[in-house]
Structure 1
């Protein structure tokens, strides 16, 4: 990104100085800005808001140059010890009806709880070990 070299008067608008985001980033990085701000916070409340604006301008500039940071990846839910018949079917390539039938016939060890089968991951591993080709 090319930055135009402008005269100092360009940044003056009455009694206000306009500081571009690239200049904010330079001031923030080169001037140990974070430490100075922390040590002087609250001494002059109006200046605090200007310093915050400089920090935000620096952040905006970095985002334009580097791109925004990727959102943190969502944590995966921990695996349950138990599988449903649908999950069992997915693991073994069965239909859900076939998985329920295998549980009912005792080919896969499962517990019947409130009319639904639940299968431990250990039982799945034993089934796979018995039926390896």
Structure 2
């Protein structure tokens, strides 16, 4: 639906928002643009909130759907983070020690969130 008073705008359904989050990679985009453009960042976050509320609702979709493909964990080991960043695991440990990448200790291992790794990657690219 196209609407708007200050120029054209598009309203999308919660189901469409959930589809975009899942299949168009809006989560990764939201992480990449965070802090670069406040308006875009805010609107991508709003799409995420709507998508999450739709996924949590009991209505679902009409007809049978195939199961969502398994995604890897939100938490990464230092080796997995290093692979995503294109650096060595020791460099990830050093970034954690500097405070550049927030991490949690699980036993004697570090775990970093996928989102924090994306933030670190974006900061390195800038």
The two structures share one fold, judged by TM-score above 0.5: no
Structure showing greater radius of gyration is: 1
TM-score by structure 2 length?
0.42
TM-score by structure 1 length?
0.40
Point out which structure has higher relative CO (alpha carbons under 8 A, 6+ apart). 2
